[in-house]
């Protein structure tokens, strides 16, 4: 049985992993202390659209943080 499109969104661990890697690569811009293992790159390559959505969400989070700082201090 095929799930409806909205129920398929983030239905596997690989999808969540790709999204979170993309999000935190943008949100935390400093280099990682340990390189990522190659098996993780394969799961990100399969779910590249989730990775890109995570990166876009990271940019939006930075904009929200900048706006919050602006509202507090100016």
Confidence (pLDDT) at 3: 67
20 located within any domain = yes
Tell whether 7 is covered by a domain.
no
pLDDT of residue 1: 60
The per-residue pLDDT for 71 is 95
Q: What's the whole-model pTM score?
A: 0.81
- Is 10 a domain residue? no
As for how many domains the chain has, the answer is: 1
On whether residue 4 sits in a domain, the answer given is no
The answer to the question of residue 6 being in a domain is no
Residue 28 lies in a domain: yes
Please write down the long-range contacts of 59-65, taking CB distance under 8 Å and 24 or more positions apart: 59/26, 61/23, 61/26, 61/27, 62/26, 62/27
Residue with tokens 């499109």: 5
Read off the pLDDT of residues 5-42 as tens digits, 9 standing for 90 and up. Answer: 777 888 888 899 899 999 998 988 788 788 878 877 88
Q: Could you tell me the residue range of the domain that residue 40 belongs to?
A: 15-73
Question: What is the predicted pLDDT for the residue at 55?
Answer: 94
């Amino acid at each position: 049985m095929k799930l409806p499109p909205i129920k398929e969104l983030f239905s596997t661990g690989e999808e969540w992993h790709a999204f979170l890697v993309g999000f935190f690569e943008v949100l935390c811009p400093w280099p990682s202390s340990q390189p990522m293992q190659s098996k993780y790159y394969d799961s990100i390559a399969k779910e590249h659209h989730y990775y890109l959505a995570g990166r876009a969400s990271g940019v939006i989070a930075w904009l929200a943080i900048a706006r919050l700082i602006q509202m507090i201090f100016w």
